[in-house]
């Protein structure tokens, strides 16, 4: 039995589907039974539970040969405290259920214990899993998700440009979430790792936000679309205005500053193993642009 936490999310859902397609038995963990139904219809066993509840996670991990661990998104007012609560619960559950293999969803920059915003939460997740005696754990450290572009959809529509906290000319190895989920499924199924190890994951090539804006513009019929690097003093209140908790907004600002200063620079050279197939062009054309246009590009 392979257990997937965050099974209804961008990477977890793909991992569940890939594992089921390979003939594996899969237990899918989610917050709501309704959202798990599409996965149970494909053959997964559903487990409705709260990732912060160690007793529930221990039960979810019972009989698992391998688990996929990630910290789900949350609107909690103190996201860092929430992250640590989840990783504490996973630590207790992994130990209690005596799970032999785990793959974590971490991030580039997770080797740093501070100054990387929400990525600090993945540092602590890695350290806690590394402390479990006998656990074979693989930490996946992907680059920025292509799905993060959706954060810019509202201002793109209302203000006519793509805003963000990343320097416009900084090349980053953006990756599609589905490629991370597929890779996680492959390694969970093979269980071909031992001890504690790290695998960085990148998209096909590094891209700058200036390039991304051009690609997005061409896909949505706005060929002159530009990207604007918004200063932190302006960006933080803008994020809060969207309903984001102030502490979370501060964390994102810190993460973007970390990226701009080089703290999130990959440690690995590109290889066949760490480079995944989905291009930014195909993501924008197949995922972002249809969502933007379906909601009315002229609004």
Q: Is residue 127 part of a domain?
A: yes
Q: Is residue 262 part of a domain?
A: no
DSSP letters, the chain, are -EEETTTTSTTHHHHHHHHHHTT--EEEEES-HHHHHHHHTTTPEEEE--TT-HHHHHHHHTT-SEEEE-------SSHHHHHHHHHHHHHHHHHHHT-SEEEEE--TTTT-SSSSTTHHHHHHHHHHHHTSTT-EEEEEEE--BGGGGGGGHHHHHHHSSEEESS-TT--B--B-HHHHHHHHHHHHHH----SEEEEEEB-SS-B-HHHHHHHHHHHHT-TT--EEE--HHHHHHHHHHTT--HHHHHHHHHHHHHHHHTTT--SSPP-TTTB-S--HHHHIIIIIHHHHHHT-TT-
Q: Is residue 88 part of a domain?
A: yes
Domain count, the chain: 1
- Compute the average pLDDT of residues 173-185: 98
| Residue 299 pLDDT exceeds 60 | no
Confidence at 297, pLDDT banded by 50, 70, 90 = very low
Q: Is residue 215 part of a domain?
A: no
Confidence at 264, pLDDT banded by 50, 70, 90 = very high
Q: Which residue has the higher pLDDT, 298 or 46?
A: 46
Q: Is residue 27 part of a domain?
A: yes
Range of the domain at 189: 2-146+175-201
Confidence at 232, pLDDT banded by 50, 70, 90 = confident
In percent, the amount of the chain with pLDDT more than 70 equals 98
What per-residue confidence (pLDDT) applies to 96?
97
What per-residue confidence (pLDDT) applies to 204?
98
pTM listed for this prediction:
0.95
What per-residue confidence (pLDDT) applies to 242?
85
Q: What is the pLDDT of residues 86-140, one digit of tens each?
A: 999 999 999 999 999 999 999 999 999 999 999 999 999 999 999 999 999 999 9
Q: Is residue 257 part of a domain?
A: no
CB 205 within 8 A of CB 160: no
Q: What is the pLDDT of residues 42-97, one digit of tens each?
A: 999 999 999 999 999 999 999 999 999 999 988 889 999 999 999 999 999 999 99
- Compute the average pLDDT of residues 177-196: 98
Q: Is residue 84 part of a domain?
A: yes
Q: Which CATH number fits the domain that encloses residue 33?
A: 3.40.50.720
In percent, the amount of the chain with pLDDT more than 90 equals 90
Q: Is residue 269 part of a domain?
A: no
- Compute the average pLDDT of residues 206-214: 98
Confidence at 298, pLDDT banded by 50, 70, 90 = very low
């Amino acid at each position: 039995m392979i257990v997937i936490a965050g099974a209804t999310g961008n990477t977890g859902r793909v991992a569940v589907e890939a594992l089921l397609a390979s003939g594996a038995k899969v237990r899918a963990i989610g917050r709501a039974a309704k959202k798990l139904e599409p996965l149970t219809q494909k053959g997964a066993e559903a487990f409705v539970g709260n990732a912060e509840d160690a007793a529930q996670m221990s039960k979810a991990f019972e009989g698992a040969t391998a688990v996929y661990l990630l910290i789900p998104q949350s609107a909690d007012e103190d996201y860092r405290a929430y992250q640590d609560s989840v990783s504490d619960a996973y630590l207790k559950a992994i130990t209690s259920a005596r799970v032999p293999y785990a793959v974590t969803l971490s991030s580039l920059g997770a080797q740093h214990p501070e100054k990387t915003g929400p990525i600090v939460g993945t540092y602590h997740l890695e350290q806690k899993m590394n402390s479990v005696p006998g656990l074979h754990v693989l930490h996946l450290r992907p680059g920025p998700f292509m799905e993060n572009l959706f954060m810019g959809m509202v201002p793109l529509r209302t203000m006519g440009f793509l805003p963000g906290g990343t320097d416009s000319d900084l090349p980053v190895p953006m990756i599609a979430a589905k490629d991370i989920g597929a890779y996680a499924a492959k390694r969970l199924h093979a269980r071909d790792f031992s001890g504690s190890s790290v695998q960085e994951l990148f998209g096909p090539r590094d891209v700058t936000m200036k390039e991304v804006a051009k690609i997005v513009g061409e896909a949505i019929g706005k060929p002159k679309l530009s990207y604007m690097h918004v200063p932190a003093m302006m960006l933080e209140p803008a994020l809060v205005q969207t309903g984001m908790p102030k502490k979370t907004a501060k964390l994102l600002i810190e993460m973007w500053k970390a990226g701009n200063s080089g703290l999130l620079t990959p440690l690995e050279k590109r290889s066949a193993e760490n480079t995944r197939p989905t291009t930014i062009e195909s993501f924008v054309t197949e995922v972002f642009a249809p969502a933007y246009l379906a909601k009315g590009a002229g609004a």
